Amino acid sequence: MNTPCKNRALLFILFSFFIIHFKVSGQIVEEYLDLQIHTSMHIPYPIFGKALTYFDKDKEPHLTYKHTLKNVSYANYLEHNKGSRIIINGALGHEYVKSAKKARKLIMKQIAYVNKFAEEHSDNFVVAKNPTEVREYLKNTDKTIIIHSIENGRKLVNSAEDAQFWANQGVSFITLIHLADINYGGSAIWIELAAKIVNLKGVFKKASKRGLTEDGKQAILWLANEGIMTDVTHMSDLTRKEAITFMAENNIPPLSTHAGFRPIQNHDLGLDSSDIITIYKSNGLVGLASSGKFLKAYHPDEKYKKQLDSLGNCFCNGSIDSYKFTYNAMKNLIENNIPLIFNDSSKTLATLTKEEKVRISIGYQSDFNGWIDHDRPRYGKKGCYHTAIPDSAFIKSETLGLAHPGMMEEHWKLLEKEGVDLEPIRLSSEKFLQMWEFMLDRKKSFDNASSQK
Protein backbone atom coordinates (compact mmCIF):
# COMPACT_ATOMS: atom_id res chain seq x y z
CA MET A 1 0.00 0.00 0.00
CA ASN A 2 1.41 3.34 -1.02
CA THR A 3 0.49 6.12 1.40
CA PRO A 4 2.74 9.08 0.49
CA CYS A 5 2.92 12.22 2.55
CA LYS A 6 1.67 10.73 5.83
CA ASN A 7 2.51 14.04 7.43
CA ARG A 8 -0.53 15.54 5.70
CA ALA A 9 -2.78 13.87 8.24
CA LEU A 10 -0.71 15.34 11.06
CA LEU A 11 -1.26 18.88 9.75
CA PHE A 12 -4.98 18.79 10.45
CA ILE A 13 -6.51 22.16 11.21
CA LEU A 14 -10.22 22.25 11.97
CA PHE A 15 -11.86 24.09 9.11
CA SER A 16 -14.45 26.74 9.76
CA PHE A 17 -15.79 29.62 7.73
CA PHE A 18 -15.57 32.95 9.48
CA ILE A 19 -18.69 34.92 10.35
CA ILE A 20 -19.26 37.46 7.56
CA HIS A 21 -17.81 40.90 8.23
CA PHE A 22 -19.08 43.98 6.50
CA LYS A 23 -17.47 47.22 5.59
CA VAL A 24 -20.84 48.94 5.94
CA SER A 25 -20.49 48.49 9.69
CA GLY A 26 -16.80 49.39 9.76
CA GLN A 27 -15.64 45.82 9.20
CA ILE A 28 -14.11 43.96 6.30
CA VAL A 29 -15.80 41.45 3.98
CA GLU A 30 -14.13 38.05 4.11
CA GLU A 31 -15.88 35.79 1.64
CA TYR A 32 -14.81 33.48 -1.14
CA LEU A 33 -15.31 35.39 -4.38
CA ASP A 34 -14.85 33.60 -7.71
CA LEU A 35 -13.43 36.17 -10.11
CA GLN A 36 -14.91 34.45 -13.15
CA ILE A 37 -17.22 31.58 -13.94
CA HIS A 38 -19.19 31.05 -17.16
CA THR A 39 -22.79 30.10 -16.39
CA SER A 40 -23.96 31.35 -19.79
CA MET A 41 -21.30 29.60 -21.90
CA HIS A 42 -23.92 27.63 -23.82
CA ILE A 43 -25.17 30.82 -25.48
CA PRO A 44 -22.02 31.63 -27.47
CA TYR A 45 -21.07 27.92 -27.64
CA PRO A 46 -24.14 25.64 -27.72
CA ILE A 47 -21.91 22.55 -27.47
CA PHE A 48 -21.85 23.18 -23.72
CA GLY A 49 -24.92 21.96 -21.90
CA LYS A 50 -27.20 24.63 -20.49
CA ALA A 51 -25.98 25.96 -17.15
CA LEU A 52 -27.87 27.56 -14.25
CA THR A 53 -30.45 24.82 -14.39
CA TYR A 54 -31.46 22.39 -11.64
CA PHE A 55 -31.07 18.64 -11.92
CA ASP A 56 -33.25 16.18 -10.02
CA LYS A 57 -31.54 15.66 -6.67
CA ASP A 58 -32.26 11.94 -6.98
CA LYS A 59 -30.47 11.83 -10.34
CA GLU A 60 -27.22 13.71 -9.82
CA PRO A 61 -25.22 13.71 -13.06
CA HIS A 62 -22.04 11.69 -13.24
CA LEU A 63 -19.26 14.23 -13.17
CA THR A 64 -15.52 14.13 -13.49
CA TYR A 65 -12.73 16.67 -13.27
CA LYS A 66 -12.37 16.15 -17.03
CA HIS A 67 -15.28 18.32 -18.09
CA THR A 68 -14.08 20.33 -21.08
CA LEU A 69 -17.08 21.06 -23.35
CA LYS A 70 -19.49 19.81 -20.67
CA ASN A 71 -21.64 21.89 -18.34
CA VAL A 72 -20.93 21.47 -14.65
CA SER A 73 -22.33 24.80 -13.42
CA TYR A 74 -25.68 23.48 -12.24
CA ALA A 75 -27.69 25.72 -9.96
CA ASN A 76 -27.74 22.95 -7.34
CA TYR A 77 -24.01 23.45 -6.84
CA LEU A 78 -24.10 27.24 -6.80
CA GLU A 79 -26.85 28.02 -4.31
CA HIS A 80 -25.72 28.52 -0.71
CA ASN A 81 -22.18 27.77 -1.86
CA LYS A 82 -19.86 28.64 1.02
CA GLY A 83 -16.86 27.96 -1.20
CA SER A 84 -17.96 30.63 -3.68
CA ARG A 85 -20.50 32.89 -1.99
CA ILE A 86 -19.93 35.55 -4.63
CA ILE A 87 -19.54 34.56 -8.29
CA ILE A 88 -18.64 36.84 -11.16
CA ASN A 89 -20.27 35.56 -14.32
CA GLY A 90 -18.22 36.21 -17.43
CA ALA A 91 -20.37 36.78 -20.49
CA LEU A 92 -18.19 35.52 -23.33
CA GLY A 93 -17.68 37.23 -26.68
CA HIS A 94 -16.77 35.53 -29.95
CA GLU A 95 -13.23 35.93 -31.26
CA TYR A 96 -14.08 36.84 -34.83
CA VAL A 97 -17.32 38.80 -34.60
CA LYS A 98 -17.21 41.65 -37.14
CA SER A 99 -20.31 43.60 -36.18
CA ALA A 100 -20.54 45.73 -33.04
CA LYS A 101 -24.29 45.16 -33.09
CA LYS A 102 -23.89 41.37 -33.10
CA ALA A 103 -21.19 41.53 -30.43
CA ARG A 104 -23.45 43.51 -28.09
CA LYS A 105 -26.45 41.29 -28.80
CA LEU A 106 -24.49 38.16 -27.84
CA ILE A 107 -23.33 39.63 -24.53
CA MET A 108 -26.76 41.03 -23.69
CA LYS A 109 -28.36 37.65 -24.32
CA GLN A 110 -26.05 36.16 -21.69
CA ILE A 111 -26.62 38.96 -19.18
CA ALA A 112 -30.38 38.66 -19.67
CA TYR A 113 -30.20 34.89 -19.15
CA VAL A 114 -28.44 35.29 -15.80
CA ASN A 115 -30.73 38.13 -14.70
CA LYS A 116 -33.84 36.13 -15.54
CA PHE A 117 -32.57 33.08 -13.69
CA ALA A 118 -31.84 35.15 -10.57
CA GLU A 119 -35.31 36.71 -10.72
CA GLU A 120 -36.99 33.32 -11.08
CA HIS A 121 -34.98 31.88 -8.18
CA SER A 122 -34.80 34.96 -6.00
CA ASP A 123 -34.89 32.94 -2.78
CA ASN A 124 -31.40 31.66 -3.49
CA PHE A 125 -29.78 33.98 -6.04
CA VAL A 126 -29.43 37.71 -6.63
CA VAL A 127 -27.60 39.88 -9.14
CA ALA A 128 -25.66 42.83 -7.70
CA LYS A 129 -24.93 45.76 -10.01
CA ASN A 130 -22.60 47.69 -7.73
CA PRO A 131 -20.45 47.18 -4.61
CA THR A 132 -23.05 48.68 -2.27
CA GLU A 133 -25.58 46.06 -3.34
CA VAL A 134 -23.00 43.30 -2.83
CA ARG A 135 -22.34 44.46 0.73
CA GLU A 136 -26.05 44.79 1.50
CA TYR A 137 -26.89 41.32 0.14
CA LEU A 138 -24.03 39.84 2.16
CA LYS A 139 -25.29 41.51 5.29
CA ASN A 140 -29.00 40.84 4.91
CA THR A 141 -29.31 37.56 3.00
CA ASP A 142 -27.72 34.16 2.58
CA LYS A 143 -28.14 34.23 -1.20
CA THR A 144 -25.49 33.45 -3.77
CA ILE A 145 -24.52 36.82 -5.24
CA ILE A 146 -23.82 37.14 -8.96
CA ILE A 147 -21.85 40.01 -10.48
CA HIS A 148 -21.54 40.64 -14.22
CA SER A 149 -18.31 40.79 -16.19
CA ILE A 150 -17.35 40.33 -19.84
CA GLU A 151 -14.53 38.21 -21.25
CA ASN A 152 -13.45 39.49 -24.67
CA GLY A 153 -14.11 43.15 -25.43
CA ARG A 154 -13.90 42.75 -29.20
CA LYS A 155 -16.27 45.26 -30.85
CA LEU A 156 -17.80 46.14 -27.48
CA VAL A 157 -15.93 49.31 -26.44
CA ASN A 158 -15.98 51.59 -29.46
CA SER A 159 -16.94 54.81 -27.69
CA ALA A 160 -17.60 56.40 -24.32
CA GLU A 161 -21.28 55.65 -24.92
CA ASP A 162 -20.48 51.93 -25.22
CA ALA A 163 -18.69 52.02 -21.87
CA GLN A 164 -21.66 53.79 -20.31
CA PHE A 165 -23.99 51.15 -21.72
CA TRP A 166 -22.03 48.34 -20.06
CA ALA A 167 -21.86 50.27 -16.80
CA ASN A 168 -25.65 50.52 -16.86
CA GLN A 169 -25.82 46.72 -17.06
CA GLY A 170 -23.78 46.46 -13.86
CA VAL A 171 -20.64 45.16 -15.57
CA SER A 172 -17.78 45.31 -13.07
CA PHE A 173 -14.87 44.59 -15.40
CA ILE A 174 -14.06 43.60 -18.94
CA THR A 175 -11.29 41.22 -19.95
CA LEU A 176 -10.39 43.39 -22.89
CA ILE A 177 -8.57 40.78 -24.98
CA HIS A 178 -9.23 37.05 -25.10
CA LEU A 179 -7.81 34.39 -27.42
CA ALA A 180 -6.87 36.41 -30.50
CA ASP A 181 -5.05 39.64 -31.32
CA ILE A 182 -7.52 42.48 -31.88
CA ASN A 183 -7.40 46.24 -32.31
CA TYR A 184 -6.67 46.75 -28.60
CA GLY A 185 -3.45 44.75 -28.66
CA GLY A 186 -1.90 41.29 -28.64
CA SER A 187 -3.29 38.16 -27.03
CA ALA A 188 -1.31 35.69 -24.92
CA ILE A 189 -0.46 32.64 -27.02
CA TRP A 190 -1.29 29.50 -25.08
CA ILE A 191 1.01 26.49 -25.42
CA GLU A 192 -1.61 24.16 -26.92
CA LEU A 193 -1.96 23.87 -30.70
CA ALA A 194 -5.67 24.71 -30.80
CA ALA A 195 -5.02 28.07 -29.14
CA LYS A 196 -2.29 28.86 -31.64
CA ILE A 197 -4.62 28.09 -34.52
CA VAL A 198 -7.20 30.50 -33.09
CA ASN A 199 -4.57 33.24 -33.02
CA LEU A 200 -2.50 32.59 -36.13
CA LYS A 201 -2.25 36.34 -36.65
CA GLY A 202 -0.43 36.66 -33.36
CA VAL A 203 1.74 33.57 -33.87
CA PHE A 204 3.33 35.00 -36.99
CA LYS A 205 3.62 38.58 -35.81
CA LYS A 206 6.76 39.91 -34.10
CA ALA A 207 6.37 40.17 -30.34
CA SER A 208 7.60 43.76 -30.49
CA LYS A 209 4.63 44.62 -32.73
CA ARG A 210 2.03 43.13 -30.38
CA GLY A 211 1.76 45.83 -27.73
CA LEU A 212 -1.07 47.95 -26.38
CA THR A 213 -2.53 50.09 -29.17
CA GLU A 214 -4.01 53.56 -29.01
CA ASP A 215 -7.42 51.87 -29.33
CA GLY A 216 -6.55 49.79 -26.31
CA LYS A 217 -5.53 52.82 -24.25
CA GLN A 218 -8.70 54.64 -25.23
CA ALA A 219 -10.87 51.66 -24.32
CA ILE A 220 -9.26 51.45 -20.87
CA LEU A 221 -9.97 55.14 -20.29
CA TRP A 222 -13.54 54.94 -21.55
CA LEU A 223 -14.21 52.02 -19.23
CA ALA A 224 -12.51 53.70 -16.27
CA ASN A 225 -14.53 56.84 -16.73
CA GLU A 226 -17.69 54.75 -16.34
CA GLY A 227 -16.41 52.91 -13.28
CA ILE A 228 -15.51 49.67 -15.08
CA MET A 229 -12.24 47.89 -14.37
CA THR A 230 -10.00 46.46 -17.09
CA ASP A 231 -8.78 42.88 -16.69
CA VAL A 232 -5.32 42.38 -18.22
CA THR A 233 -5.63 38.57 -18.34
CA HIS A 234 -5.03 37.01 -21.78
CA MET A 235 -2.93 39.95 -22.97
CA SER A 236 0.41 39.24 -24.65
CA ASP A 237 3.50 40.02 -22.57
CA LEU A 238 4.09 43.38 -24.23
CA THR A 239 0.42 44.41 -24.24
CA ARG A 240 0.01 43.46 -20.58
CA LYS A 241 3.15 45.29 -19.45
CA GLU A 242 2.18 48.40 -21.40
CA ALA A 243 -1.39 48.20 -20.10
CA ILE A 244 -0.22 47.88 -16.48
CA THR A 245 2.13 50.83 -16.95
CA PHE A 246 -0.54 52.92 -18.65
CA MET A 247 -3.05 52.17 -15.92
CA ALA A 248 -0.56 52.95 -13.16
CA GLU A 249 0.24 56.29 -14.82
CA ASN A 250 -3.46 57.12 -14.92
CA ASN A 251 -4.22 55.99 -11.36
CA ILE A 252 -6.31 53.05 -12.60
CA PRO A 253 -5.80 49.94 -10.44
CA PRO A 254 -4.94 46.96 -12.68
CA LEU A 255 -6.88 43.72 -12.34
CA SER A 256 -5.62 40.29 -13.41
CA THR A 257 -8.30 37.69 -12.75
CA HIS A 258 -6.83 34.34 -13.80
CA ALA A 259 -3.11 34.17 -14.28
CA GLY A 260 -0.37 31.68 -13.68
CA PHE A 261 2.91 32.54 -11.95
CA ARG A 262 5.60 32.87 -14.64
CA PRO A 263 8.48 31.49 -12.54
CA ILE A 264 6.51 28.21 -12.35
CA GLN A 265 4.16 28.38 -15.38
CA ASN A 266 6.65 29.77 -17.87
CA HIS A 267 4.24 30.64 -20.66
CA ASP A 268 2.31 33.69 -21.89
CA LEU A 269 -0.52 33.28 -19.39
CA GLY A 270 1.89 33.48 -16.48
CA LEU A 271 2.54 36.81 -14.79
CA ASP A 272 6.18 37.49 -14.07
CA SER A 273 7.30 38.80 -10.70
CA SER A 274 7.70 42.40 -11.88
CA ASP A 275 4.16 42.47 -13.27
CA ILE A 276 2.76 41.18 -9.99
CA ILE A 277 4.64 43.72 -7.87
CA THR A 278 3.68 46.58 -10.21
CA ILE A 279 0.00 45.59 -9.98
CA TYR A 280 0.09 45.59 -6.19
CA LYS A 281 2.05 48.84 -6.02
CA SER A 282 -0.74 50.32 -8.15
CA ASN A 283 -3.42 49.11 -5.71
CA GLY A 284 -4.49 46.35 -8.05
CA LEU A 285 -5.35 42.69 -7.54
CA VAL A 286 -4.02 39.43 -8.97
CA GLY A 287 -6.23 36.36 -9.17
CA LEU A 288 -4.69 32.93 -9.57
CA ALA A 289 -6.42 30.31 -11.70
CA SER A 290 -7.71 27.56 -9.39
CA SER A 291 -7.28 24.69 -11.84
CA GLY A 292 -4.51 22.24 -11.02
CA LYS A 293 -4.29 21.35 -14.70
CA PHE A 294 -3.69 24.96 -15.69
CA LEU A 295 -1.12 25.40 -12.92
CA LYS A 296 1.06 22.46 -13.85
CA ALA A 297 4.70 23.47 -13.83
CA TYR A 298 5.94 24.39 -17.30
CA HIS A 299 9.68 25.00 -17.69
CA PRO A 300 9.89 26.43 -14.16
CA ASP A 301 12.81 28.48 -12.92
CA GLU A 302 15.59 26.41 -11.40
CA LYS A 303 14.63 27.52 -7.88
CA TYR A 304 11.13 26.09 -8.18
CA LYS A 305 12.23 23.06 -10.18
CA LYS A 306 14.46 22.03 -7.29
CA GLN A 307 11.64 22.58 -4.81
CA LEU A 308 9.27 20.46 -6.89
CA ASP A 309 11.86 17.72 -7.34
CA SER A 310 12.46 17.65 -3.60
CA LEU A 311 8.77 16.90 -2.95
CA GLY A 312 9.00 13.57 -4.76
CA ASN A 313 5.96 11.39 -4.03
CA CYS A 314 4.48 14.15 -1.90
CA PHE A 315 3.46 16.08 -5.02
CA CYS A 316 0.68 15.07 -7.42
CA ASN A 317 1.10 17.18 -10.53
CA GLY A 318 -2.15 18.61 -11.89
CA SER A 319 -4.00 18.08 -8.62
CA ILE A 320 -4.73 20.55 -5.84
CA ASP A 321 -1.00 20.25 -5.11
CA SER A 322 -0.24 22.36 -8.19
CA TYR A 323 -2.55 25.12 -6.97
CA LYS A 324 -1.16 24.89 -3.45
CA PHE A 325 2.46 25.10 -4.61
CA THR A 326 1.85 28.03 -6.96
CA TYR A 327 -0.31 29.95 -4.49
CA ASN A 328 2.30 29.67 -1.74
CA ALA A 329 5.06 30.76 -4.12
CA MET A 330 3.11 33.83 -5.29
CA LYS A 331 2.10 34.65 -1.73
CA ASN A 332 5.74 34.53 -0.61
CA LEU A 333 6.78 36.83 -3.46
CA ILE A 334 4.16 39.41 -2.49
CA GLU A 335 4.93 39.25 1.22
CA ASN A 336 8.67 39.52 0.61
CA ASN A 337 8.03 42.75 -1.30
CA ILE A 338 5.73 44.44 1.22
CA PRO A 339 8.14 47.40 1.78
CA LEU A 340 8.21 48.01 -1.99
CA ILE A 341 4.44 47.64 -2.41
CA PHE A 342 3.69 50.05 0.44
CA ASN A 343 6.71 52.27 -0.30
CA ASP A 344 7.62 51.98 3.37
CA SER A 345 10.77 50.14 4.49
CA SER A 346 9.34 49.61 7.97
CA LYS A 347 6.39 47.53 6.76
CA THR A 348 6.41 43.78 7.31
CA LEU A 349 3.67 41.17 7.27
CA ALA A 350 3.69 41.11 11.05
CA THR A 351 3.07 44.85 11.31
CA LEU A 352 0.23 45.05 8.77
CA THR A 353 -3.28 45.75 10.00
CA LYS A 354 -6.20 43.76 8.59
CA GLU A 355 -7.06 46.77 6.41
CA GLU A 356 -3.50 46.80 5.02
CA LYS A 357 -3.57 43.05 4.41
CA VAL A 358 -6.52 43.62 2.08
CA ARG A 359 -4.11 45.41 -0.26
CA ILE A 360 -1.95 42.30 -0.70
CA SER A 361 -4.80 39.79 -0.96
CA ILE A 362 -4.81 37.17 -3.73
CA GLY A 363 -7.94 36.34 -5.70
CA TYR A 364 -8.93 33.15 -7.50
CA GLN A 365 -10.87 32.28 -10.61
CA SER A 366 -12.33 28.84 -11.23
CA ASP A 367 -13.37 29.22 -14.90
CA PHE A 368 -16.01 26.53 -14.45
CA ASN A 369 -17.78 25.91 -17.74
CA GLY A 370 -14.78 27.42 -19.45
CA TRP A 371 -12.50 25.47 -21.75
CA ILE A 372 -10.38 23.78 -19.09
CA ASP A 373 -10.49 20.76 -16.81
CA HIS A 374 -9.73 21.15 -13.12
CA ASP A 375 -7.82 19.36 -10.34
CA ARG A 376 -7.17 15.69 -10.94
CA PRO A 377 -7.59 13.38 -7.93
CA ARG A 378 -4.67 12.60 -5.68
CA TYR A 379 -5.87 9.09 -4.85
CA GLY A 380 -7.65 6.28 -6.66
CA LYS A 381 -7.67 4.90 -10.19
CA LYS A 382 -7.39 8.35 -11.80
CA GLY A 383 -5.12 9.78 -9.15
CA CYS A 384 -1.39 9.83 -8.63
CA TYR A 385 -1.50 7.30 -5.80
CA HIS A 386 -3.26 3.97 -5.44
CA THR A 387 -4.18 2.99 -1.92
CA ALA A 388 -6.12 0.31 -0.12
CA ILE A 389 -7.61 2.92 2.19
CA PRO A 390 -11.33 3.32 1.36
CA ASP A 391 -12.50 6.48 -0.38
CA SER A 392 -14.54 7.39 2.68
CA ALA A 393 -11.31 8.07 4.56
CA PHE A 394 -10.53 10.96 2.26
CA ILE A 395 -12.12 14.30 1.51
CA LYS A 396 -14.17 13.71 -1.65
CA SER A 397 -12.08 16.05 -3.78
CA GLU A 398 -8.99 13.93 -3.11
CA THR A 399 -10.53 10.92 -4.89
CA LEU A 400 -12.75 12.72 -7.42
CA GLY A 401 -10.81 15.88 -8.15
CA LEU A 402 -12.45 19.27 -8.57
CA ALA A 403 -15.44 18.16 -10.62
CA HIS A 404 -17.93 21.01 -10.15
CA PRO A 405 -18.37 24.40 -8.43
CA GLY A 406 -20.08 22.87 -5.42
CA MET A 407 -16.74 21.33 -4.45
CA MET A 408 -15.00 24.66 -3.91
CA GLU A 409 -15.77 24.47 -0.20
CA GLU A 410 -13.93 21.14 -0.04
CA HIS A 411 -11.08 22.68 -2.03
CA TRP A 412 -10.55 25.36 0.62
CA LYS A 413 -11.22 22.91 3.45
CA LEU A 414 -8.49 20.58 2.24
CA LEU A 415 -5.97 23.40 1.81
CA GLU A 416 -6.61 24.76 5.27
CA LYS A 417 -6.38 21.26 6.71
CA GLU A 418 -2.88 21.11 5.27
CA GLY A 419 -1.79 24.38 6.82
CA VAL A 420 -2.29 26.78 3.92
CA ASP A 421 -3.03 30.37 4.96
CA LEU A 422 -6.25 31.29 3.14
CA GLU A 423 -6.69 34.74 4.65
CA PRO A 424 -5.36 36.47 1.49
CA ILE A 425 -8.00 34.66 -0.57
CA ARG A 426 -10.85 35.53 1.76
CA LEU A 427 -9.72 39.17 1.87
CA SER A 428 -9.70 39.39 -1.95
CA SER A 429 -13.48 39.91 -1.89
CA GLU A 430 -12.97 43.12 0.09
CA LYS A 431 -10.14 44.14 -2.22
CA PHE A 432 -12.28 43.61 -5.30
CA LEU A 433 -15.12 45.65 -3.84
CA GLN A 434 -12.75 48.44 -2.85
CA MET A 435 -11.31 48.58 -6.37
CA TRP A 436 -14.80 48.71 -7.87
CA GLU A 437 -15.78 51.44 -5.42
CA PHE A 438 -12.63 53.38 -6.26
CA MET A 439 -13.50 53.25 -9.96
CA LEU A 440 -17.11 54.33 -9.42
CA ASP A 441 -16.11 57.14 -7.06
CA ARG A 442 -13.79 58.57 -9.73
CA LYS A 443 -15.99 58.26 -12.79
CA LYS A 444 -15.29 60.85 -15.51
CA SER A 445 -11.95 61.83 -13.92
CA PHE A 446 -9.43 59.42 -15.39
CA ASP A 447 -8.57 61.29 -18.59
CA ASN A 448 -6.75 63.84 -16.48
CA ALA A 449 -5.49 61.49 -13.80
CA SER A 450 -1.85 61.60 -14.91
CA SER A 451 -1.64 65.38 -14.70
CA GLN A 452 -3.35 65.38 -11.29
CA LYS A 453 -0.92 62.97 -9.61
Task: Kindly indicate the confidence band of residue 333, based on its pLDDT and cuts at 50, 70 and 90.
Answer: very high
Higher-scoring residue by pLDDT: 106, 391: 106
The whole-angstrom separation of Cα 274 and Cα 241 is 9
Q: Stretch 102-116: mean pLDDT, rounded? A: 98
pLDDT at 453: 37
Binned at pLDDT 50, 70 and 90, residue 247 comes out as very high
HSE-up (13 A, CA, CB side) for residue 5: 17
Q: How far apart are CA 34 and CA 44, in angstroms?
A: 21
Mean pLDDT across the stretch 338-344? 98
Q: What is the pLDDT of residues 162-220, one digit of tens each?
A: 999 999 999 999 999 999 999 999 999 877 767 778 787 877 788 888 899 999 999 99
Instruction: Give the pLDDT confidence score for residue 121 in this predicted structure.
Output: 98
Residues 438 and 130: their CA atoms lie apart, in Å, by 12
Instruction: Sketch the domain layout of the chain as residue ranges.
Output: 24-446
DSSP per-residue codes, 27-87: ------EEEEE-TTTTTT-TTSPP-S-PPPTTSPPP--S--TTS----HHHHTT-GGGSEE
Q: What is the mean pLDDT of the chain?
A: 91
- Please tell me what DSSP assigns to residue 158: S
Does the pTM exceed 0.85? yes
- What are the tens digits of pLDDT across the range 43-97? 999 999 999 999 998 898 988 999 999 999 999 999 999 999 999 999 999 999 9
Per-residue model confidence (pLDDT) at position 23: 40
Q: What is the pLDDT of residue 381?
A: 85
Give residue 449's pLDDT.
43
Average of pLDDT values for 113-141? 98
Contact 244, 220 (CB under 8 A): no
Q: Is the pLDDT of residue 22 over 90?
A: no
Residue 388 pLDDT exceeds 80: no
- State residue 198's pLDDT score: 76
CA end-to-end span of the chain:
64
- What is the C-alpha to C-alpha distance for residues 323 and 319, in angstroms, rounded to an integer? 7
CATH of domain 24-446: 3.20.20.140
Across 110-119, 192-201, 257-266, 376-385, least confident range: 192-201
What mean pLDDT comes out for the span 353-370? 97
Q: At 88, is the secondary structure helix, strand, or coil?
A: strand
Angle in degrees, CA 204, 205, 210, rounded to 5: 145
